[in-house]
């Protein structure tokens, strides 16, 4: 018994975001789906975790904390809210580490929250090539403890890692990466937890949903079984433990 996804509860639907994250303890590792930018970001789950106030968190994301200072991936309109990103956990002092591929924008004016925390020695930043990061997460969810990749050979990423030649090319051994919780954002969930994504919002979400002990989905709409075409299921309900529906008219995209 690996203690991954537990037996299916009677209902996966949780009424509000605060309740959905209420059991997350200090010291937990949190995978945050999407790519970076507003599309695919589980913004309401993130804000609920910030309000919960637990600390010593490890955040696992991709493009992690650049939207607040650069507007990356956020629409700019009169009625659109100011961008929020994973930097919120560093601004609040809740996160002590981030594992991601893209922690900082090109510019240092103004400084992003992650770079501020890193410069002040308040946070560790582990920078991973994006393809390696997503494969580490996929591997964790698929029962593969490690894999070889050509990416990173001959760079600082290779330091301390085993390498091996296959057919004359060198590859690095990279290990699977799991999380205590995954936050994923989808367009629709059915009550079994099957998820349907839209456009480029899937990104890291589907793999993260498979790799965490507890996966929580933030969706625009919860439907009965059959409300998602079986051909359009992007994440199996088998991976999803909790689903929460956003309020209609939420100003966050």
Which chain residues interact with other proteins by CB under 8 A?
Answer: 35-40, 62-63, 70-77, 101-106, 108, 115, 118, 125, 127-132, 134-135, 138, 149-157, 197-207, 234, 253
What is the DSSP code (8-state) at residue 66? -
**Taking Cα atoms as reference points, which of 4, 32, 24, 21 lies closest to residue 99?**
32
Residue 22 beta carbon to other proteins: minimum distance, rounded to whole angstroms: 28
Residue 172 beta carbon to other proteins: minimum distance, rounded to whole angstroms: 10
Sheet (strand 163-166) strand order: 146-149, 169-175, 163-166
Comparison of 44 and 138: residue with beta carbon closer to other proteins: 138
Joined tokens for residue 142: 């698929």
Residue 7 beta carbon to other proteins: minimum distance, rounded to whole angstroms: 27
Residues 154 and 117: their CA atoms lie apart, in Å, by 29
Residue 189 beta carbon to other proteins: minimum distance, rounded to whole angstroms: 16
Residue 127 beta carbon to other proteins: minimum distance, rounded to whole angstroms: 5
Comparison of 24 and 58: residue with beta carbon closer to other proteins: 58
Joined tokens for residue 244: 């929460």
Residue 252 beta carbon to other proteins: minimum distance, rounded to whole angstroms: 10
Residue 213 beta carbon to other proteins: minimum distance, rounded to whole angstroms: 20
Comparison of 24 and 74: residue with beta carbon closer to other proteins: 74
At residue 55, φ and ψ (nearest 5 deg) are -135, -170
Comparison of 4 and 148: residue with beta carbon closer to other proteins: 148
Rounded to 5°, the CA angle 205-87-181 comes to: 40
Comparison of 126 and 162: residue with beta carbon closer to other proteins: 126
| Contact status, residue 110 vs residue 116, Cβ threshold 8 Å | no
Residues 201 and 65: their CA atoms lie apart, in Å, by 17
C-alpha distance across the termini of the chain, in Å: 39
Q: Residue by residue, what is the 3-state secondary structure of 115-134?
A: HHHHHCCCCEEEECCHHHHH
What's the CA dihedral at 48, 140, 239, 179 to 10 degrees? Answer: -20
Comparison of 11 and 82: residue with beta carbon closer to other proteins: 82
Comparison of 145 and 199: residue with beta carbon closer to other proteins: 199
């Amino acid at each position: 018994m690996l203690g991954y996804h537990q037996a299916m509860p009677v209902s996966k639907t949780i009424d509000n975001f605060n309740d959905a994250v209420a059991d997350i303890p200090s010291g937990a590792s949190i995978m945050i789906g999407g790519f970076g930018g507003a599309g695919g970001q589980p913004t309401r789950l993130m804000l609920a975790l910030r309000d919960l106030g637990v600390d010593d968190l490890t955040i696992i994301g991709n493009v992690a904390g650049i939207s607040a200072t650069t507007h990356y991936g956020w629409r700019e309109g009169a009625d659109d809210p100011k961008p929020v990103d994973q930097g919120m956990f560093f601004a609040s002092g809740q996160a002590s580490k981030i594992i991601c591929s893209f922690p900082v924008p090109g510019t240092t004016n103004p400084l992003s929250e992650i770079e501020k925390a890193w410069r002040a020695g308040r946070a560790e930043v582990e920078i991973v090539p994006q393809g390696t990061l997503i494969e580490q997460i996929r591997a964790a969810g698929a029962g593969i403890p490690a894999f070889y990749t050509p990416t990173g050979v001959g760079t600082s990423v290779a330091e301390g890692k085993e390498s091996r030649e296959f057919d004359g090319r060198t590859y690095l051994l990279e290990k699977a990466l799991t999380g205590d919780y995954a936050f994923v954002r989808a367009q629709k969930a059915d009550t079994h937890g099957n998820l349907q994504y839209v456009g480029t919002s899937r990104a890291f979400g589907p793999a993260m949903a498979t790799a965490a002990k507890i996966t929580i989905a933030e969706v625009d709409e919860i439907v009965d079984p059959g409300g998602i075409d079986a051909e359009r299921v992007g994440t199996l309900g088998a991976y999803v433990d909790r689903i929460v529906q956003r309020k209609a008219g939420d100003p966050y995209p």
